[in-house]
Structure 1
Amino acid sequence: MSAYLVGVLVPLAVTLFFRNSKKSEKKRGLPVDVGGEPGIAIRNSRFPTPLETAWEGVFTLAELFEYACKRHGDKYLLGTRRLIARENEVAPDGRTFEKLHLGEYEWLTYAKVFEKVCNFASGLAHIGHRREERVAIFADTRAEWFIALQGCFRRNVTVVTIYASLGEDALCHSLNEIINMYSILESTNVNILALYRGYNCICGNKELKKLVDISGQLDTVKRLICMDDEIPSSASVEQSGQWTITSLSNVEKLGQENPAKADLPQSADIAVIMYTSGSTGLPKGVMMTHANVLAVVSSVRTIVPGLESNDVYLAYLPLAHILELAAENIVAGVGSAIGYGSPLTLTDTSNKIKRGTKGDASVLRPTVMAAVPAILDRVRDGVRKKVDATGGLSKKLFDLAYARRLSALNGSWFGAWGLEMLLWNFLVFRKVRAVLGGRIRFLLSGGAPLSGDTQRFINICLGAPIGQGYGLTETCAGATFSEFDDTSVGRVGNPVPSSFIKLIDWPEGGYLTSDSPMPRGEIVIGGPNVTVGYFKNEEKTKEVYKVDERGMRWFYTGDIGQFHADGCLEIVDRKKDIVKLQHGEYVSLGKVEAVLTVSPYVDNMMLHADPFHSYCVALVVASQPALEEWASKQGIAFSDFADLCEKKETMKEVQASFLKEAKKSRLEKFEIPAKIKLLSNPWTPESGLVTAALKIKREAIRKAFSEELSKLYES
């Protein structure tokens, strides 16, 4: 009996000892004395003062790019898959879907890209572009986007980034707000750089149509420059007589024949005016200096372990989002290769991949990726669906292996370590890792909170740490970032080396820095990564940007956080997402949504609370594969997916899954939606209901589904 107790208690004691010692021995963030509004401030434990650059003698993005190209000239920089064919497939319901047959990656070296960048910069000068004229990029992510960006930087030209998924109103607002600007736009098939005499743009067929539709409001457009050599014919454009069209390669050729001396920027010059995705209204243009972006790029370089020229990065997120723009500048700065892909061709089973064709990740086999939580949630759900469909011994082995590794990651010595871990990796998780190429060693997650369930799933199944970050466009995506050895979930890490993080009291919401056991309050971010402000919006700039008596610039985020004992930050709320119900209870919409979207039946959702009612309701975009599989097992007949979503049994099943997740996360009863509406059509950026980073647009959804929301409260 005593031997048995020793066998149980000794490992338990050792586990507890190491867990406690780890927590006490490593301080990831330390208190720091700062100016401005009273609060509690934390800095990165490794950097007593904010980091501005990680490269000696480099103070702008243009200098960083030139430094990298000269140092890594013969190495691959930009890769693009060859398009072999486009085919249309007809689904059983009669809908037609385009499928792509893609080949291998074709690469440009650092030296070749630098040559193209210099030629493009000279070409802009030759066609009459002036320094004070801006260039707007309205395009999906691709190599030409990056080349155009760097070409503009070599002429000290400010680049305006606009999401390719913007609707007509937001697009018109963004373009009309910029004066003396060139724009860069792109579409599904062809990408065009539209050079305006007030605006210069790059676009494609889809974007070209958008421009034509609002051409009456864009009378300053003078020239379009196609990224591709095949320039589409468009009667509407020709009839307008407004625009002339040339190709990007022609501009490069003009630059090659008429080289112009570089006009490099200073660190305080505006590098980018980045329009937000407009989740809370019309997009705002955030003005970023070269110093702002370089501070974040430098910070992440010090955090990602061993980032070097042998790494391969898969680029598929919108370059109009600061997360992707910063990530590509980071990996280019250290000499890594960037292979371009798309969310629609990412894996072997992605929507646009022709059957039998490999997805981008399988071909590229990246070592580093950035992802938004929505993408990682889809990877998790896809793997779980396959495992459940397989059933039998395979499912039992997966569940056992997962449970053993989960126990280990949660700190138990009784979990799978050492040889057992290697065995499970070989027998079970090797096939899962092949989904993203099998070589991922580090994932960067940002843009929205990542659920603990998804984080653990990725840790175990992909065998890679996730650096979960927190930041905003206004801070160049920089604020906090979890270090590679921080395996905790539910937190967003410690301050990045360029940032100070401060919490200030928000008494109206009940969040105080004097709270126990952890100080809580509104998150305020200071440091060289805090941007200049909003373009042509001085009133809003003064509202959320402050400079203290010591000269430190601070941004007031509106997010609510709490500091853990080791100096790491946890996001707990958002001021705008808190609604007071009829009986006085407060509901945090974002917090509840993060809990309930873990349900396998949910693709997306919006919780709605009304101060004139005592309960919440929800609009739920249903997961078609999960619900159809459930209905099949239950013997429930339905004519189509929309019919299935209307059935009472379906709503009851989804509600039951919500109660399960709510119980696990200890939600209050009033936080759980009393009534739901299941929606069969997905929310896409093109629909205007979610941003390019897949964040929901509450006001747009409320307007689009006002009738459905009213009925939920009436019934």
Structure 2
Amino acid sequence: MGVKMDLQTVLLLPVHLLVWLYSLLTFLPWYFITGAQEKNVLAKRNKAKSTSGQPEGPYRSIDRFDSLAQMDFAGKDTLDKLFNHAAERYGPNHCLGTRQVLCEENEPQPSGKVFKKLILGDYKWITYEEMDVIVSHFGSGLAALGQQPKSTIAIFCETRAEWMITAQSCFRRNFPLVTFYGTLGEEAVAYGLNECGVTHVVTSVELLETKLKNVLPQIPNLKHIIYVENKTVSTAGYPEGIQLHSMEAVQKLGAKPEHLNLEIVKPKPADLAVIMYTSGSTGRPKGVMIVHSNLIAGMTGQCERIPGLGPKDTYIAYLPLAHVLEMTAEISCVTYGCRIGYSSPQTLSDQSTKIKRGSKGDSSVLKPTLMAAVPEIMDRINKNVMCKVQEMSFVQRTLFRLAYNYKLDQIKKGYDAPLCNALFKKVRGLLGGNVRMMLSGGAPLSSATQRFMNICFCCPVGQGYGLTETCGAGTITEVADYSTGRVGAPLICCEIKLRDWAEGGYTRKDHPNPRGEILIGGPNVTMGYYRKDGSLNDDFYVDESGQRWFCTGDVGEVHSDGCLQIVDRKKDLVKLQAGEYVSLGKVESALKNCALIDNICAYANSDQNYVISFVVPNQKKLTTMADQKGIKGTWEEICQHPVMEMEVLREIKVVATSSKLQRFEIPVKVGLSPEPWTPETGLVTDAFKLKRKELKNHYLHDIERMYGGK
């Protein structure tokens, strides 16, 4: 074995020598041509500082230190004005695109399940001019059906062009839009519709028939249901008094002269634009009230961190539009003249679950330049690519690792490796090959996954931090910042300060950097929760200067350059029987780096002295390990086998030790889940955040088993 390794080392010497010579000959020309020196200066500069001079803040961006930004375009202080500006400026340009479904096929699986596979055509586009007309007609049609200004209207629909058309129609006519995730449960949707007193709802046929129809008797105020597809839906089984309309029929109604000329009551900056129901990780969904000026301020801050945003950009839209990250990203793209191509997690790439083998996924056809993603999706891409690398020949695998490690070393110094980029062309092609910037939000992104995306997709990955309550705006890392594990400096629309959390051991006097609960203040902070009593709005307050603040419940650390790092969450902290505090989020973040794990939930009872965990294992890796151990059976049987639990636990301990977790933080027992956790299962939110209460109820039997319960 030693002789073989020595021979391999000798064979690789010419490759190492070639890389060294290339670096020597090209570094100086590349350094000056690409402006690497200026980028390094930007990366290392102070990005924010305390306005009070105190460690708790408030911290503001150096780029907008004297006052917070409220709008990007002078006089465009409501969302309808932003869209009118875009329609006038970018009229003939492509705006929204949707792929045509050419055919569907049922593909039987070895397990007996049948998967639906799609063969899709090219993107079909509508221009800004065409969208302007559609928005006008649909808004008039809604008014003709009795929708009143300042009265709420709901959208319960998947991410698609019709969602954005509906939103712009409502913004134009001052109809506050109530949004629900497509994966939200029936009872939660009924609760939200009743709380807002909605009379009109826009939905898809699938959600109408599988979810909404079941709870219609519980929603007495609802009068009109508009479904987005152009088809006929049977009215059988619907309560009396509810009318069904297709979106096209409503547009035709609105195009009639007598309806098109109905008076438009234009919104004001302080008018309600959206009530966004979160699919929160605990309890009933809460409707966050967002006025026009909130959204415009938040988007102003976000767009400032995306250099060169404009008509040359193509954005791929596949995250839930009922999530503030996706909604603000798409409205921003429309404002700046980008084109938006619609997709879904099931059709995103050539390897996606609904794409027929041999046909093209949406990224390959669209070739986007901009993309937003949640860490869960980036982690999946990372693990899938690395699994493919393991299947390569020794020479291919060695060359890949050599290029990967060389570029990793360069990126850590703030440089690039153009020669290596050619070797990652195939990986980059998974997302179309043209992505120039990715934005990650919704949860912390691991340093390993961020570096993987930097290296293999040859683009910066901006980590963002924000909440629905702050219009998704808080911080975003600058493109020039090549550090990992941080979420950047405050955006130009807001400021951040820290509040001591003594119970968790976080204070502004901590060394080397101040730490504490993160408070976000600025014009992007929303108006609170809809129709809630005062006790549930305690997380919002107004200071002596009239500025609104939101107390996030997240714990942050502010670095010396003004950048924020998320280090904990108050609700994730559990005190063990012996008095040690365990941050469940910290444990999960560290253990997600384990190759055997696709997802993990750490759990601890305060009356116990150890942590346990539930794991969604990587099917390919665990099956291979089972074969090596001589364990046969179905996937469910493999996951339930005690030997496999012990093997996963052994791997967990190795990763936990390398991640420097304390002994009491390392899970002592593990349960393996054969089913992945998706928003459809109700165990994670649409942003793939863990729903701890639902997970606890789902695995109650396992908890009792692992804690030795009766």
TM-score, normalised via structure 1 length: 0.91
| 2:603/2:612 contact within 8 Å kept | yes
Q: What CA deviation, in whole Å up to 9, does each residue of 1:573-632 have, x standing for no partner?
A: 111110011111110001111111121222222100111111000011122122123334
2:444 to 449, 452, 455: 449
Matched residue type, 1:351? T
Distance 1:483 1:701 in 2: 36
Q: 1:635 to 1:180 in 2, by over 3 A?
A: closer
2:646 pairs with 618, 638, 652, which one? 652
Tell me the matched-pair count.
673
Q: CA deviation at 1:209?
A: 2.9
**8 Å Cα contact 2:603-2:611 kept in structure 1:** yes
CA shift, 1:211, in A, is: 2.0
Asked if residue 424 in structure 1 is aligned to residue 443 in structure 2, the reply is no
Query: Aligned to 1:662, which of 656, 662, 670?
Result: 656
What per-residue deviation string (whole Å, max 9, x for no partner) do you get for residues 635-680 of structure 1? 5332111111122332233223212321232110110100000110
Counterpart contact for 2:154–2:198, Cα < 8 Å? no
Aligned pairs for 1:34-183 within 5 A: 39-48=56-65, 49-183=67-201
Alignment of 1:306-317 (within 5 A): 306-317=308-319
Matches within 5 A, 1:215-254: 215-233=216-234, 235-237=236-238, 240-254=239-253
Deviation, 1:394, is 1.3
TM-superposition CA deviations, 1:76-102 (whole Å, max 9, x none): 000000011111111011111111111
1:691/1:254 CA distance change after superposition, 3 Å: same
Assess if the C-alpha contact under 8 Å between 2:43 and 2:480 holds in 1.
no
1:357 to 337, 356, 359: 359
Which residues of 2 match residues 259-658 of structure 1 at below 5 A? 259=260, 260-411=262-413, 421-426=417-422, 428-632=423-627, 634=628, 636-658=630-652
Once the two structures are superposed, residues 94-139 of structure 1 have per-residue CA deviations (whole angstroms, 9 ceiling, x without a partner) of 1111111111000000000011001111111112211132111110
Match of 1:201 in 2: none
Q: Give the AA of the match of 2:122.
A: E
Counterpart amino acid of residue 46 in structure 2:
K
Partner of 2:197: helix, strand, or coil? coil
Q: Which moved more, 1:131-140 or 1:471-480?
A: 131-140
Residues 1:206 and 2:207 are matched in the alignment: yes
**Secondary structure, in 3 states, of the residue corresponding to 1:236?**
coil
Alignment partners' CA distance in 2, 1:23 and 1:314:
29
Q: CA deviation at 1:34?
A: 10
Closer/same/farther in 2, CA of residues 561 and 450 from structure 1, 3 Å limit: same
CA distance in 1, matches of 2:352, 2:297: 35
* 8 Å contact kept, 1:167–1:686: no
Partner amino acid, structure 1, of 2:192: S
Contact kept? 1:19, 1:411, Cα under 8 Å: no
Structure 1 runs of 4+ aligned residues shifted over 6 Å read 18-21
What secondary structure, in the 3-state scheme, does the structure 2 residue paired with 1:209 have?
helix
Is the alpha carbon distance of 1:261 and 1:357 closer, same or farther for their aligned partners in structure 2, counting shifts above 3 Å?
Answer: farther
Which segment drifts farther, 205-214 or 372-381?
205-214
State the Cα distance separating 1:304 from its structure 2 match. Answer: 0.5
- CA distance in structure 2 between the aligned counterparts of 1:457 and 1:597, rounded to whole angstroms: 14
Alignment TM-score, normalising by the size of structure 2 = 0.92
Q: Is contact 2:529–2:537 with CA below 8 Å preserved after alignment?
A: no
Picking from 688, 693, 696, the partner of 1:699 is 693
Which deviates more from structure 2 when the two are superposed, residues 241-250 or residues 86-95?
Answer: 241-250
Percent identical: 44
Q: Helix, strand or coil for the counterpart of 2:164? A: helix
Residue identity opposite 1:395 in structure 2: R
Q: Is the 8 A contact 1:132 1:180 kept in 2?
A: no
Aligned to 2:574, the other structure's residue is in SS state strand
Q: Counterparts of 1:68 and 1:209 in 2: how far apart (Å)? A: 37
SS of alignment partner, residue 245 of structure 1 = strand
Distance in 2 separating the partners of 1:600 and 1:713:
26
8 Å Cα contact 1:85/1:101 also seen in 2: yes
Q: Secondary structure at the residue paired with 2:544?
A: coil
| Amino acid paired to 1:111 | E
Does the CA-based 8 Å contact 2:554-2:569 persist in structure 1? yes
Contact kept in structure 1, 2:39 and 2:480, CA below 8 Å: no
Does the 8 Å CA contact 1:23/1:566 hold for their aligned counterparts?
no
Question: What SS is found at the alignment partner of 1:478?
Answer: coil
**Are positions 1:683 and 2:684 aligned together?**
no
What's the counterpart of residue 10 of structure 2?
A: none
- 1:25: how far off? 5.3
Q: Are the aligned partners of 2:99 and 2:124 in contact in 1 as well (CA < 8 Å)?
A: yes
